[in-house]
Structure 1
Amino acid sequence: MATEAISVRVPARSAGHDFRAVKVVLHREMLRFVNDRTRMLSMLMQPVLWLFVMGTGLGSLVQGSIPGVDYRTFMYPGMISMTVIMTGMFSAGSIVWDREFGFLREMLVAPVSRGAIVVGKCLGGAIVATGQGVVILAMAGLVGVPYSPTLFVTLLAEMFLAAFTITAFGVMLAARMKNMQTFFGLMQMAIMPMMFLSGAMFPLANLPSWLHVLTVVNPMTYAVDPMREAVFSHLDVPAQVNAVLNPGVRWFDFQVPVPLELGIVAALGAVLLGVGIAEFRRAE
């Protein structure tokens, strides 16, 4: 007696399936973060220590040169950037974790594009990092930054843009890595120089020429500077102090406007997302 073959029909890929995949991956990233209290606390400890310990110590050294301004106020936008950048990179690293434990393979066999998985990862990482940054926003009054709704809305938008770009960068790095140790080693090697050269901890005015060049070519500078511009626009500080602490970014004699800085960050995020998707497709 002949046996009949049983056909298996795999649903065709569609935009609807891809959209649902983005939502599922995004939702999973948020659940993973909310359920990991240790990770939430550890991600906050470093910027809080830098802001209140290092900021207080450095402020005591430069107090005479910046009258009327707490040095922690200057460092505040940089610490917001540090929070979202570190959180975004750790969210991107979950791809390596999923690969090690086999969950990534389950996602890859689903009838959705791999681009949808990457977009979901980037959006999830950006939302989680922005939520983490809200905690730093709540500390604004402790460092002399006013609780202004306009300022907070501006900072939230800039945080999300920076977080999406850095998460896309992390996804690009993690796409073809096989273990977490390699990813975190490379992450530290890439992120720490970018943070130190972004102007998050020191003013960009009156730098040596070689250091000025490094800050200008550092993409994270264009994420930190708009946040500092937003904060200082809501402060009443002497013009000479503002010129020292908030000089902006200059290309030779051209003062880079904030919309152009944000455009650079957005364009970089789009490019990194595209490269990440391409790497992800070749990785498996």
Structure 2
Amino acid sequence: MTTDVRAPANVARVHVARRGLAHDLRAVKIVLHRELLRFLYDRSRMISQVIQPVLYLLVLGTGLGSLVSGGGTVNLKTFIFPGVIAMSVMFTGMFSAASIVWDREFGFLREMLVAPVGRTAIVVGKVLGGAVVATLQGVVILALAGLAGVPYDPVMILTLIAVMFTGAFTITAFGVVLAARIRRMQSFFGIMQMAMMPMMFLSGALFPLSGLPAWLSVLTRINPLTYAVDPLRHAVFAHITASPALKARFNPGVTWFGWHVPPLLEVGLVIVLGAGLLAGAIAQFRRTD
């Protein structure tokens, strides 16, 4: 007696897409698109991340403006406007990175990691998506330039958007590095506050970098966020009317041993740091289970 064992004739074959550059670029696009959709459909998040910078600009800038003896068209609101933009971009980028922890808690991250795409593409898409979202949030604050006495100059606006994107990319990459091993949202927000609040206050976003005590001056110069805020302020002060004395007071720039660091070099430092953090994030995710 023989048994005729035959395979079913109607078994569907599973085809896995071939890995390649085009395949990974498509994965980057999908992850980026998901970040944009998440941002656009979360109206409460958009509103909440606008209110805080506006409060800094209008309430803090107006309230403390009487304590600053200025002149011309420069007031405290004009001074802190670039810092408010940087703060908005910074916190939006970090919140975008926080979604990794959220996805891990609900199991969606595991589905992404087992997909037939490189983990590098997932991380790059995540960082690019967070950078684009943070830049869009910064553009919303940029629309309030008139309230701070800043002109709507096209060259200045394009410069600010470019600097915002580089800063947002670096901050989001930093957030992804932090989120790579954290499994609970509470832990991530605690670490985020511990890391970001000192960086924000030591960046010169709310006070000039000149005339500081030696210890505080050292801390501001080793703070990476300083090199994202200073180019923003240079771009604003290059397009407002003020005396050289006032510009030197409100926009002293960053110095290394008496040498003024050019804004273009500062942007380059931010880009290099962002590339290094992105590489670190990719390495972390390659080791993630």
Shared topology, TM-score over 0.5? Answer: yes
Superposed CA offset, 1:93-127 (max 9, x none): 11111111111111112111101000001111111
Q: How does 1:84-95 map to 2 (within 5 A)?
A: 84-95=89-100
CA distance in 2 between partners of 1:42 and 1:281 (Å): 34
Could you say which residue in structure 1 is the equivalent of 2:60?
54
Q: How does 1:1-284 map to 2 (within 5 A)?
A: 1-2=4-5, 4=7, 8-62=14-68, 64=69, 66-68=70-72, 69-284=74-289
Superposed CA offset, 1:23-76 (max 9, x none): 0000000000100000000111111111111111111111x2x22221100000
Deviation at 1:10, TM superposition (A): 3.3
CA distance in 2 between partners of 1:260 and 1:248 (Å): 12
2:287 counterpart SS class? helix
Superposed CA offset, 1:2-21 (max 9, x none): 35497755333221111110
Aligned residues: 282
CA distance in 1 between partners of 2:181 and 2:215 (Å): 34
Q: Give the residue type in structure 2 aligned to 1:232.
A: F
CA distance in 2 between partners of 1:116 and 1:3 (Å): 42
Q: Indicate conservation of the 8 Å contact 1:122/1:168, yes or no.
A: yes
CA distance in 1 between partners of 2:212 and 2:27 (Å): 47
2:117 counterpart SS class? coil
Q: Indicate conservation of the 8 Å contact 1:17/1:111, yes or no.
A: no
CA distance in 1 between partners of 2:6 and 2:99 (Å): 45
CA distance in 2 between partners of 1:97 and 1:229 (Å): 37
Q: Indicate conservation of the 8 Å contact 1:14/1:112, yes or no.
A: no
CA distance in 1 between partners of 2:89 and 2:115 (Å): 31
- Greater mean alpha carbon deviation, residues 101-110 or residues 149-158: 101-110
CA distance in 2 between partners of 1:219 and 1:84 (Å): 14
1:93 counterpart SS class? helix
**After TM superposition, what 4+ stretches of structure 1 lie above 4 angstroms from structure 2?**
5-9
TM-score (norm 1): 0.97
Q: Give the residue type in structure 1 aligned to 2:203.
A: S
2:67 counterpart SS class? helix
TM-score (norm 2): 0.95
Q: Indicate conservation of the 8 Å contact 1:171/1:276, yes or no.
A: yes
Deviation at 1:200, TM superposition (A): 0.1
Question: How big is the alpha-carbon RMSD for the aligned residues of Structure 1 and Structure 2?
Answer: 1.2
2:246 counterpart SS class? helix
Max radius of gyration: which structure? 2
